[in-house]
């Protein structure tokens, strides 16, 4: 059975507990009985379980004349381990804990990266779960359940109210409204009738339909979204780890210095082989990458933990680096900038009368517009009489008898000539120009009022976007909604640029175009299934916590509270965390710059020597410094900290 990095980390950590106890007890001059042999046994198992992959990677890099972080790990652990075995049998101090804990700390970072890749796989799994498992297909004059993979192009498929549409196709009979929010991201249902296209995995709302399959299997829109997410997640060039850059220079330099140290002491100063080896070992031990191994994971753990307390989940270290070069932020509209559901924004006419009639007609409707109207009716505590002789006029609205009089509610098609006054006509035009959906309410063959409905921006969206623009970031809205609606929302919140009427597949392409047109990095913020390819394609994918599972899995940062002000906070803590990593690496190297010459015996004539045990102590102190530096992230001031907003 192949162990995961996380499993190898926990096994290694548990095995290393006796060495940790001994390290903590050292200042009190307590020695664990049989410690040297316990350390030998546990470290040997750790080397077999955890260190061998790094040794293999280092050897592969060496064969290509390269050095990386794994080379540094392999050199440090190998020297510390095998010298400790030599020391064990010659009565000298052992350094098994150095070999063990270097491996463990580096393994922790790899475990976190592995978790990120697993999340990517989970995202694809959740997308595939959206597909229906079977479809009602016409066979020999009867509708029978057929597994999805057996549906063919040209098959006639029946879909009942509330069911998911199996594959892409064209309606041949019936009419309905379809919830296409999964694909378009828009909350408004779309009216569908004969000849209109339907998309697989969208939800049929209130009418039975027959449709002919036009795309099945890998050709459906959902399958194409899955493929785009897969490509986007694997197309990211891996970030060039800072420690790898350092290791490429540092490792060869340390090895050369160690060899020179041994040669100089053995050949020119006529030291014994053991003495010369001790100087060389001291060089390698003090250069052992414990602090380097801690620099990234400790800062990442503290930074992400701090962010989590603020309601911001940062999934990986790549987002930290990309945030430093961020230049453009692209927003989805529905559910991201806006609330994601329609609400009544304007009432024209006598509110009591208009809402009373509207309540009577819309009481039993499940249409999102009707629900928005009923929410307004309840908010105003309007009492309304029951409607009789209810009649649904598809594509127009509904009509019924209210208090014995004919009443109606619906779009402009409901109003016959002369039923809509010039004043109401003028006001309706104004509301429509504001990209609002206008519902007409009438009684006794006369329109008595208008109800304007719109998916409104979140109260904090404008503030958040203003703060992002103040940081020098360009803001873009990318939406599948029509241009007028998108532009109206953009004007309300201060968005710089609008890209509207974009299909899911085109969202990822638009992100690529923006990336090509700017020298900096691009972030995308979204919440829907249709946003998944764009979230994966962008340099930083930011998902709203209220969004779909696939969006959350595809994003590198998740805003739990669904407040765009958290973007400002997330960017600030990302930058501070990454800067802390660079500071940690600086401190880790400073110890080596100071310690290596001393360990090599350059100041031995002054009585200043660094034995392997002192070198190990200096290495441990550098690790403590790095950990302390990372912990200071908890005290760093974060812009727009939500915890401060609550105070």
Segment (H or E) for 72:
helix 69-90
Are the C-beta atoms of residues 32 and 19 closer than 8 Å to each other? no
List active site positions.
Answer: 332
DSSP 269: S
Please state, in angstroms and rounded to a whole number, the distance separating the CA atoms of residues 375 and 355: 10
Q: Provide DSSP, 8-48.
A: HHHHHHHHTHHHHHHHHHGGGT---TTHHHHHHHHHHHHII
Separation CA 315–CA 370 (nearest Å):
40
Parallel/antiparallel/unpaired status of strands 326-331 and 343-348? unpaired
Question: What is the rounded CA–CA span in Å between residue 360 and residue 403?
Answer: 10
What does the DSSP assignment read for 385-398? PPEEEEEEETTTEE
Distances (CA, A) of 399 to 362, 393, 514: 10, 7, 48
Non-local (6+) Cβ contacts of 516 within 8 A are none
Looking only at the bridges linking them, the beta strands covering 405-410 and 197-198 are unpaired
Residue 161 burial (CB < 10 Å; 0-12/13-18/19+)? Answer: middle
CA distances from 441 to 329, 351, 391 (A): 41, 11, 15
Compute CA 83 distance to the chain's CA centroid, rounded to the nearest angstrom: 44
Give the residue from 61, 42, 45, 58 showing the smallest Cα distance to 3: 45
The size of the chain, in residues, is: 647
């Amino acid at each position: 059975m192949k162990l995961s990095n996380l499993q190898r980390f926990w096994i290694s950590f548990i095995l290393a507990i006796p060495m940790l106890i001994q390290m903590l007890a050292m200042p009190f001059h307590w020695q664990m009985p049989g410690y040297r042999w316990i350390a030998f046994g546990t470290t040997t198992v750790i080397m077999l379980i955890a260190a061998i992959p790094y040794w293999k990677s280092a050897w592969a890099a060496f064969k290509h004349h390269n050095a990386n972080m794994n080379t540094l790990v392999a050199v440090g652990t190998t020297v510390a381990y095998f010298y400790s075995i030599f020391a064990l049998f010659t009565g000298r101090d052992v350094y098994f804990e150095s070999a063990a804990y270097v491996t463990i700390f580096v393994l922790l970072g790899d475990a976190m990266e592995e978790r990120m890749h697993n999340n990517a796989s989970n995202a694809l799994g959740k997308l595939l779960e959206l597909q229906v498992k079977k479809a009602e297909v016409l066979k020999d004059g009867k509708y029978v359940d057929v597994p999805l993979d057996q549906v063919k192009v040209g098959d006639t498929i029946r879909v009942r109210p509330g069911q998911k549409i199996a594959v892409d196709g064209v309606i041949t009979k019936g009419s309905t409204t379809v919830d296409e929010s999964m694909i378009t991201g828009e909350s408004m249902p779309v009216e569908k009738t004969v000849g209109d296209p339907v998309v697989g995995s969208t939800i049929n709302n209130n009418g039975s339909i027959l449709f002919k399959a036009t795309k099945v299997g890998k050709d459906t829109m959902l399958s194409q979204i899955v493929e785009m997410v897969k490509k986007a997640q694997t197309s990211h060039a891996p970030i060039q780890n800072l420690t790898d850059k350092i290791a490429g220079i540092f490792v060869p330099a340390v090895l050369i210095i160690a060899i020179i140290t041994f040669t100089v002491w053995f050949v020119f100063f006529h030291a014994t082989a053991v003495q010369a080896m001790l100087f060389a070992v001291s060089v390698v031990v003090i250069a052992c990458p414990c602090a380097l191994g801690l620099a990234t994971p400790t800062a990442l753990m503290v930074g992400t933990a701090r962010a989590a307390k603020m309601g911001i989940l940062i999934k990986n270290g790549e987002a930290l680096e990309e945030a430093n070069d961020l230049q453009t932020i692209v927003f989805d509209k529905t559910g991201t900038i806006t609330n994601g559901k329609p609400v009544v924004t304007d009432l024209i006419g006598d509110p009591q009368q208009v809402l009373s009639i509207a309540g009577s007609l819309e009481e039993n409707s499940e249409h999102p517009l009707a629900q928005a109207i009923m929410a307004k009716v309840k908010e105003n505590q309007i009492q309304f009489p029951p409607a009789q002789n209810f009649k649904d006029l598809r594509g127009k609205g509904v009509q019924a008898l209210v208090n014995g009089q004919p009443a109606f509610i619906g779009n402009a098609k409901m109003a016959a000539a002369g039923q809509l006054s010039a004043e109401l006509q003028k006001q309706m035009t104004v509301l429509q120009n504001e990209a609002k959906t206008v519902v007409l309410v009438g009684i006794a063959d006369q329109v008595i009022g208008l109800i304007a409905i719109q998916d409104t921006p979140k109260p904090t969206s404008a503030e958040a976007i203003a703060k992002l623009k103040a940081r020098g970031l360009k803001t873009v809205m990318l939406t599948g909604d029509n241009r007028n609606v998108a532009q109206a929302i953009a004007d309300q919140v201060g968005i710089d640029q609008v890209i509207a009427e974009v299909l899911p597949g085109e969202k990822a392409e638009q992100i690529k175009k923006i990336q090509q047109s700017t020298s900096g990095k691009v972030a995308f913020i979204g919440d829907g299934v249709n946003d998944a390819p764009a979230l994966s394609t962008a340099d930083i994918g930011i998902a709203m916590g209220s969004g779909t599972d696939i969006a959350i899995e595809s994003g590198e940062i998740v805003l739990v509270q669904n407040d765009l002000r958290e973007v400002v906070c997330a960017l600030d803590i990302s930058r501070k965390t990454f800067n802390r990593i660079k500071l940690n690496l600086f401190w880790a190297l400073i110890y080596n710059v100071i310690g290596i010459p001393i360990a090599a015996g350059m100041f031995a004539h002054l009585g200043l020597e660094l034995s392997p045990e002192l070198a190990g102590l200096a290495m441990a102190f550098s690790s403590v410094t790095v950990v302390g530096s990372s912990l200071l992230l908890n005290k760093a001031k974060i812009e727009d900290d939500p915890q401060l907003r609550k105070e």
